[in-house]
């Protein structure tokens, strides 16, 4: 089964890595698909996000990293993807994920979205929270890999 884990990953967090590893427990290979939409403002450029992911996953086998700027269902069709992985944290994720999964299914019925429940320690972890904390110079070492923490600190250095 060809699966992708799509997301913005601005930046990748330990929560994302947890979902990725859970995915690899079930599937032979997972492609991390980094989305790039010019209208969506991100702290890190698409190149930086991909670079960071490659750095922090270099010791994980069977993962690929790619980026895309179009419609997810088009990527899925073109690359004959049969499964999409997403992560669920609190109930608050459910509504959005439900809407996305059903909209995508409406456009393409040849793939399934598979949800992985986060580990309890990552329940409240999000890229936006990590950025806010880094901006305020808080300790984020348990939330993101070291390389990501350093890049965040550099971004917010006065």
Site for ligand ADP in 67-96 (CB under 6 A): 86-87, 89, 93
**Tokens at residue 65, please?**
């990293």
Whether 135 sits among the annotated catalytic residues: the reply is no
Q: What CA–CA distance (Å, rounded) separates 42 from 25?
A: 30
Q: What CA–CA distance (Å, rounded) separates 54 from 50?
A: 6
Stretch that binds ligand ADP, among 13-21, 44-52, 57-65, 105-113 (CB under 6 A): 13-21
How many residues touch ligand ADP under the rule CB under 6 A: the total is 16
Q: Which is nearer to ligand ADP, 138 or 158 (CB)?
A: 138
Taking CB under 6 A as the rule, does residue 8 contact ligand ADP? yes
CA distances from 152 to 4, 43, 59, 114, 131 (A): 26, 9, 22, 30, 7
152 and 140 Cβ atoms separated by less than 8 Å: yes
Whether 37 sits among the annotated catalytic residues: the reply is no
C-beta nearest to ligand ADP: residue = 15
Taking CB under 6 A as the rule, does residue 42 contact ligand ADP? no
């Amino acid at each position: 089964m060809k699966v992708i884990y799509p997301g913005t990953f601005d930046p990748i967090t330990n929560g994302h890595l947890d979902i990725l590893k859970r995915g690899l427990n079930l599937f032979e290979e997972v492609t991390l698909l980094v989305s790039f939409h010019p209208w969506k403002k991100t702290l890190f450029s698409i190149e930086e996000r991909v670079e960071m992911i490659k750095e922090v996953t270099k010791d994980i086998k069977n993962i690929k990293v790619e980026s895309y700027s179009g419609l997810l269902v088009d990527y899925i069709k073109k690359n004959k993807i049969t499964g999409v992985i997403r992560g669920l944290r609190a109930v608050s994720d459910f509504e959005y994920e439900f809407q996305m999964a059903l909209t995508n299914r409406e456009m393409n019925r040849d793939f399934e979205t598979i949800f992985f429940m986060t580990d309890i320690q990552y329940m409240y972890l999000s890229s936006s929270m990590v950025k806010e904390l880094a901006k305020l110079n808080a300790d984020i070492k348990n939330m993101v890999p070291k390389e990501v923490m350093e890049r965040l600190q550099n971004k917010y250095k006065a």
